[in-house]
Amino acid sequence: MSSFPALAAPDGPARRQNRLAQLYRRDPGAEGRFWYSVITTGVYCRPTCPSRHARSENIRLHDTLAEARATGFRPCGRCRPEEPSLADRQRVQIDIACRQIDRMGRALTPYEATETTGLSASQFYKLFRRFTGTTPSGWARRETGSPPSPRSGPQ
């Protein structure tokens, strides 16, 4: 055990600079921790939004989604801050595929993977590996003790 006191979260300008840095990196760790609005475009976004970044003086940071909504701006059409995050939606798609593989007792064909998840075959295999750490065939062959669930997020 360490006897060092816990560091307090930065406040004021340091906190803003830290959040802007996360925003400019599109840091997945910032997802759900804050939102931002852009006064020149009239939208509010997630910190991971793929849209081109605004100048820092045009960005307003918000601790909650409710604060971002209160700006009167509209939600971004690219990152869709009102909906679950892309990673959450992908995690659900892969979880559905895992349950389908468990029911069938074999890996999904590329056609079945596309039909089950709505993803292209290449995107499905890439995400399956990212979230489960194995391939669909590996998932189907694993020991049938207590089945692991897909990881909580991209690694």
Catalytic residues: 45, 49, 76, 79
Q: Which of 69, 65, 80 is nearest to 34 (CA)?
A: 65
Closest residue by Cα to residue 87 from 35, 122, 131, 123: 131
Query: Taking a C-beta distance cutoff of 8 angstroms, is the pair 7, 38 a contact?
Result: no
d(CA 59, CA 33): 16
Q: How far apart are CA 135 and CA 125, in angstroms?
A: 7
**Paired tokens of 109:** 């064909």
Integer CA distances (angstroms), 114 to 52, 125, 145, in order: 30, 10, 28
